[in-house]
Amino acid sequence: MSIFEMYLLVKLDDFGEMLELFSVITFVAAIIFAVAGAVQMDDRKMKKKTYFSWLIPLTVIFVMSLGLMAAVPSTKQMAAILIIPAITDTVAENKKLRQLPDKLLDLAGDWIDELSPEKEEVKPKE
């Protein structure tokens, strides 16, 4: 993994936050232009197309930023996407690593057996 890929991996959350901010700004701007266009409809000096012409590009930008927010993974998701396949491939290719979980389970079982208190046999009362 290159340094640039590591940088992008770490900065994915910041990119998502930037897209959220961009979406909010474009949404607010679209509302402002829509309200201003509706208020200025009666004014003969201003054409209503002046305000409403901004709505289409702002709406397109807003929808695109929402789509990017949904498509861009978070840092944790991207780390899982990159790391989990590498780990599973490594374990699948290496016989010693495949044997390691069995040995760990045996060791854990022996350790638990040693720690568990031995139950005394209960003698029935006469």
Are 12 and 52 found together in one domain? Answer: yes
Residue 29 confidence (pLDDT) above 70: yes
Alpha-carbon dihedral 23, 25, 27, 30, rounded to 10 degrees:
-140
- pLDDT value of position 51: 62
pTM as predicted: 0.54
Instruction: Mark whether 20 and 66 lie in a shared domain.
Output: yes
- Alpha helices in the chain, H assignment, sequence order: 3-39, 48-52, 55-71, 75-93, 95-115
Higher pLDDT, 111 or 60: 60
Judge if 89 and 34 occupy the same domain: no
Residue 121 located in a structural domain: no
Range of the domain at 83: 74-115
Number of domains in the chain: 2
Amino acid found at 23: S
CA distance 6 to 22: 24
Residues 94 and 62 in one domain: no
2 and 22 belong to one structural domain: yes
